[in-house]
Amino acid sequence: MGAPLLKKSGIVNVKFGDNVVVIEPSNIYGCTIGDGVFIGPFVEIQKNVLIGARTKIQSHAFVCELVHLGEDCFIGHGVMFINDLFVNGGPACGDRSLWKSTLIGSHVSIGSNATILPVNICDNVVIGAGSVVLRDITESGIYAGNPARKISGIE
């Protein structure tokens, strides 16, 4: 029987702003975290991610490569960002040229267990818990469902 290759999770090669709080265990590497950010436990933030100032990321969230979050965002528990659309019928298998980026504006709140595919979301948007965002959101408001649709404006 062979022995597994064990790799430790941790915080490696991260550019932190001032007054950042990270609750361990978390797996955060090769990314940039703005001032006043809060990161809950069991969060993974991969390389080439940018987290804007004062954003809060709750437990069990997964922020994959090529995601940029604006300032003053809230990312709920268990939110999953996706960068691989399986365009060839399966995972890109290391071919990062097939990955797509996600850009989230400022003042965006994403409810627990939402899934965000590679999209652009404008400022001042609320995404309901459990929603699946498949398309760009270009108008402020409240969105929910699978696929997420606008259900209300923001007053």
pLDDT tens, residue by residue, 3-46: 999 888 899 999 999 999 999 999 999 999 999 999 999 999 99
Residue 118 amino acid letter: P
With a cut of 80, say whether residue 155 has pLDDT above it.
no
Domains annotated for the chain, with CATH where assigned, are 11-85+96-152 (2.160.10.10)
Record the pTM. 0.94
Q: What is the pLDDT of residues 86-137, one digit of tens each?
A: 888 888 887 888 899 999 999 999 999 999 999 999 999 999 999 999 999 9
